[in-house]
């Protein structure tokens, strides 16, 4: 049986993370100095990012407060709070969430953005990607093989898939995929896909984990998720777990490479600490955390992906710019108009 281990041994990783985090400006040495603080609004799940955020806090002494929630919900909160937002950093699950508040972001320094691959950062320097995720179809291996699966996500509108699929329309990554559809297909074809899919009566889940669980239990035959959720199940349950990922061979929006990312709020009173945090998250050892622990794709050069992942170069991903992925409101409106979400 294949061993599902981290790329780096945990003690070595923790030590390396601490060294990187401490490489920034030295903390105040006087006992009367006010402790440095950082407030993060995170659209990424606590189970995925809390360990790396905790390592930054422990290594630097910075007190980090994190508000977790849905990316679209937090984006709306930041816009509503305006100049009074306590957030220093918005850490979003997808570029659409980042685009929704981009006018509120400060421009990042070249030291932060220059190391990130161009396809994983905003062209105007307002935010940077932290990790990459591939959209896939997760399928039950006892019911299907890759040969049974269509080349393009459009083909799941065929009535033969009625009642056999799962999706999570309120999930940020699903919404980002729909945004990619609009960019690649246009509004009309995207609306038609949503309407036809809804007619096929897919089972609705709140998140990707629920879909992978349902596929493994045989409740559904397949579902639309991000690639990395499956590997947590394989690590816990072993390779006998009857689910695998399928990267749509025909490409299209169902094979989109998404990016989680973060920006610093212009209203932040802790910009220096916030910049230090982003530099930490983009360091090779922190990127190795995402590659080894959460099975995501690094956004900087020189960090290897986990051996179980399909290399990015072998995925038939469509070319969608970060600017094209930024219109979250348009996507949310379309999901409501089609009745996919309330």
pLDDT one-digit tens code per residue, 36-70: 999 999 999 999 999 999 999 998 999 999 999 99
Mean pLDDT within 223-241:
96
DSSP assignment string, 284-308: HHHHHHHHHHS-PBPSBTT-PPPTT
Q: Assess whether 80 and 37 both reside in one domain.
A: yes
Q: Assess whether 158 and 249 both reside in one domain.
A: yes
Q: 10 Å Cβ neighbour count for 314? A: 9
Mean pLDDT within 206-215:
97
Share of the chain above pLDDT 90, in %: 82
Domain-embedded: residue 5? no
- Give the pLDDT confidence score for residue 219 in this predicted structure: 98
Domain-embedded: residue 3? no
CA-nearest of 262, 305, 203, 195 to 52 is 262
Domain-embedded: residue 2? no
- Give the pLDDT confidence score for residue 23 in this predicted structure: 53
pLDDT at 327 over 90: no
Cα gap 204→213, rounded to integer Å: 13
pLDDT band at 2 (very low <50, low <70, confident <90, very high): very low
Q: Assess whether 237 and 172 both reside in one domain.
A: yes
- Give the pLDDT confidence score for residue 74 in this predicted structure: 96
Domain-embedded: residue 4? no
pLDDT at 29 over 90: no
Rg (CA), the chain: 20
Q: How many domains, the chain?
A: 2
Across all residues in the chain, what is the average pLDDT? 91
pLDDT at 8 over 50: no
Q: Which domain holds residue 222?
A: 133-256+317-337
Cα gap 20→159, rounded to integer Å: 53
pLDDT at 119 over 70: yes
Mean pLDDT within 260-267:
97
CATH of the domain at 40: 3.40.190.10
pLDDT digits (tens, 9 = 90+) for 133-177: 999 999 999 999 999 999 999 999 999 999 999 999 999 899 999
pLDDT band at 211 (very low <50, low <70, confident <90, very high): very high
Q: Assess whether 100 and 40 both reside in one domain.
A: yes
Please, how many CA atoms are within 13 Å of residue 297, restricted to the half-sphere of its CB? 22
């Amino acid at each position: 049986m294949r061993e599902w281990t981290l790329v780096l041994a945990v003690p070595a990783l923790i030590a390396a993370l601490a060294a990187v985090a401490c490489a920034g400006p030295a903390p105040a040495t006087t006992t009367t100095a006010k402790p440095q603080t950082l407030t993060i609004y995170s659209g990424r799940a606590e189970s995925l990012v809390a360990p790396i955020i905790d390592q930054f806090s422990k290594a630097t002494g910075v007190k980090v407060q994190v508000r977790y929630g849905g990316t679209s919900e937090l984006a709306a909160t930041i816009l509503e709070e305006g100049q009074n937002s306590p957030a220093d950093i918005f850490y979003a699950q997808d570029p659409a969430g980042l685009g929704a508040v981009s006018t509120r972001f400060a421009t990042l320094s070249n030291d932060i953005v220059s190391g990130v691959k161009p396809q994983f950062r905003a062209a105007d320097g307002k935010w940077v990607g932290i990790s990459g995720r591939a959209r896939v179809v997760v399928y039950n291996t006892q019911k299907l093989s890759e040969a049974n699966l269509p080349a393009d996500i459009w083909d799941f509108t065929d009535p033969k898939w009625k009642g056999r699929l799962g999706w999570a329309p309120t999930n940020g990554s699903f919404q980002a995929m729909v945004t990619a559809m609009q960019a690649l297909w246009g509004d009309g074809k995207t609306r038609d896909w949503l309407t036809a899919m809804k007619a096929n009566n897919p089972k609705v889940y709140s998140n990707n984990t629920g879909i992978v669980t349902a596929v493994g239990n045989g409740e559904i035959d397949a579902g639309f998720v991000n690639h990395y959720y499956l590997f947590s199940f394989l690590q816990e349950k072993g390779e006998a777990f009857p689910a695998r990922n399928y990267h749509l061979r025909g490409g299209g929006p169902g094979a989109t490479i998404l990016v989680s990312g973060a920006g610093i709020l212009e209203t932040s009173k802790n910009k220096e600490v916030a910049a230090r945090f982003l530099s930490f998250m983009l360091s090779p050892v922190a990127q190795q955390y995402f590659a080894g622990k959460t099975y995501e794709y690094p956004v900087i050069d020189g960090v290897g992906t986990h051996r179980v992942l399909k290399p990015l170069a072998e995925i038939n991903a469509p070319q969608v710019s970060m600017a094209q992925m930024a219109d979250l409101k348009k996507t949310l409106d379309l999901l409501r108009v089609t009745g996919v979400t309330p």
